[in-house]
Amino acid sequence: MADSTSVPATARSVALRLEGVRRAFGGLVVIEHLDLQIEAGEFLAVLGPSGCGKSTLLRMIAGLAPPDEGRMIAEPERPQAAFVFQDAHLLPWRTALNNAALPLELMGASREERHAKARAALDQVGLADAESRYPAQLSGGMRMRVSLARALVTEPRLLLMDEPFAALDEITRFHLEVQLRDLWHRRGMTVIFVTHSISEAAFLANRAVVLTRRKGHIKLDRRFDLPAIRRNELRSDPRLGREMGMLMDAMEEE
């Protein structure tokens, strides 16, 4: 089994470097002097207490909230990014297929192309049979999988996820975590995954950073020594327990 340090970097992933980044809202400094380097094809988890700037960091990387100071350098420049939110945030008046096809529609793809790619993306997340259903007819887990399909449909180089499984029950979450890890391994995209959950971060990521409560400094930067292919059996593996312990110590001090 391959070691986690050998991330599946391909031509479809993106490397990021943040240098001296600062972001404030009014007088409140959320992130200050943040330096962070993310390798191409890396699966990075970002942990920290509520209000520490995790989501702000993700929005800055997505280009939705530019930093007040500092620089963000992406290689290649202006990568195709996709964002998965805490809730599914689907368009309720569209079917699962048309929700998954939305990014391609906004980018000007033809109907045939976007429907073919959206069907493939829904198939990847196990929702091939649900393409004509509306969000109101789907369970919470299914809605989140449509949201994931919508993110994957553009074959993004950079996938940004903001606590996407926080609202789901544990069994659904375990299932989706395995599925996400497999997708990442097959596609080799760079993933930045914000979460409150120590177990989720350790199970999914190759590397985790823990942010401090104030000003979003990096308190811990940890690369995990865990297998590349991850199944639910790993959840009871002592190696995962050790990594979780490291993260918990850093979080508890906050």
Partner 1 sequence: MKKILPPLIPFVAVTVLVEALVRGGFVPSYLVPAPSAVLRALMDNRAELATAMGKTSAAAFLGFALSTLAGIGTAIALSSSRAIQRSLYPYAVFFQTVPIIAIAPLLVIWFGYGMQTVIACAFIVSIFPVIANTLTGLLSTDPALRDLFRLYGASPGVTLVKLRFPAALPQILTGLRVASGLAVIGAVVGEFIGGEGLGSVVDVARTQQRVDKVFAAVLLASVLGLALFGLINLISALTLRHWHASEQA
C-beta of 109 vs 244, nearer to partner 1: 109
Q: Under the phi-then-psi rule, with left for phi > 0, alpha for psi from -120 to 50, and beta for the rest, what region is 114?
A: alpha
Q: Is 25 in the site for partner 1 (CB under 8 A)?
A: no
Buried b (16+ CB within 10 A) or exposed e, 85-109: beebebeeebbbbbbbbbbbbeeeb
Does the footprint of partner 1 cover residue 2 (CB under 8 A)? Answer: no
Rounded distance, CA 57 to CA 208, Å? 14
Q: Is 87 in the site for partner 1 (CB under 8 A)?
A: yes
Binding test (CB under 8 A) with partner 1, winner from 93, 128, 186, 221: 93
Min dist. Cβ of residue 233 to partner 1 (A)? 35
Instruction: Please tell me the count of residues contacting partner 1 according to CB under 8 A.
Output: 22
Half-sphere exposure of 243 (CA within 13 A, CB side): 28
Choose between 64 and 229: whose C-beta lies nearer to partner 1. Answer: 64
Please, are residues 174 and 95 in contact by the beta-carbon 8 Å criterion?
A: no
To partner 1, the closest distance from the beta carbon of 85 in angstroms equals: 5
**148's tokens:** 């994931």
Least distance from partner 1 to the Cβ atom of residue 8, Å = 24
- Beta strand segments in the chain, E: 15-25, 28-38, 43-47, 69-75, 81-84, 158-162, 190-194, 207-211, 218-223
CB of 150 to partner 1, least distance (A): 8
Which H helix or E strand runs over 248? helix 238-252
**Cβ closer to partner 1: 150 or 230?**
150
Tokens of 94: 């569209």
CB nearer to partner 1: give 61 or 226.
61
- Choice from 18, 34, 38, 81 touching partner 1 (CB under 8 A): 81
Q: How far is the CB of 138 from partner 1 (least distance, A)?
A: 12
* DSSP-assigned letter for residue 227: B
106 contact partners, CB below 8 Å, separation of at least 6? none
Which of 2, 6, 35, 63 binds partner 1 (CB under 8 A)? It is 63
In whole angstroms, how close is the CB of 9 to partner 1 at the nearest point?
A: 23
CB of 87 to partner 1, least distance (A): 8
Q: 208 has which bridge partners? A: 45, 222
Binding status of residue 167 toward partner 1 by CB under 8 A: no
Residue 128 neighbours by CB distance under 10 Å = 13
Examine residue 174 and tell whether it contacts partner 1 (CB under 8 A): no
Query: CB-wise, 157 or 230, nearer to partner 1?
Result: 157
Which chain residues interact with partner 1 by CB under 8 A?
A: 59, 62-64, 81-83, 85, 87, 89, 91-93, 102-103, 105-107, 134-136, 154
